[in-house]
Amino acid sequence: MTDAERKLWQRLRAGRFSGYKFKRQVPIGAYIADFACISAKLIVEVDGGQHLKQLERDNLRTFHLEREGFQVLRVWSDDALVRTDEVLNMIWQKLNVPAAALSPALSRARERESAMEDAGQHDKVFMREALTLARQGNDAGEVPVGAVVVKDGAIIGRGFNQPIGAHDPTAHAEIMALREAAAQQGNYRLPGCTLYVTLEPCAMCVGAILHARIERVVFGAPDPKTGACGSVIDLTAVQKLNHHARFTGGMLAGECGELLKTFFAGRRK
Ligand SMILES: [Zn+2]
Using DSSP, how many helices (H) and how many strands (E) does the chain show? 9, 9
Percent of the residues in the chain that have a pLDDT greater than 90, as a whole number: 49
Distance 202 CA to ligand 1 centre (A): 4
Tell me which of 5, 45, 142, 174 is the catalytic residue. Answer: 174
21-47: pLDDT as tens digits = 888 888 877 778 888 888 788 888 887
Distance 120 CA to ligand 1 centre (A): 24
Active site residue 255: no
Whether pLDDT at 203 is above 80 = yes
What Cα–Cα distance (Å) separates residue 48 from each residue in 40, 45, 77, 85?
Answer: 25, 10, 5, 19
The answer to whether the beta carbons of residues 66 and 72 sit under 8 Å apart is yes
Distance 245 CA to ligand 1 centre (A): 16
80-120: pLDDT as tens digits = 777 777 788 788 777 765 444 445 655 666 666 667 666 77
First to last CA, the chain: 67
Distance 206 CA to ligand 1 centre (A): 7
The count of other CB atoms within 10 Å of the CB of residue 80 is 26
The answer to whether the beta carbons of residues 145 and 178 sit under 8 Å apart is no
What Cα–Cα distance (Å) separates residue 105 from each residue in 91, 110, 164?
Answer: 19, 9, 55
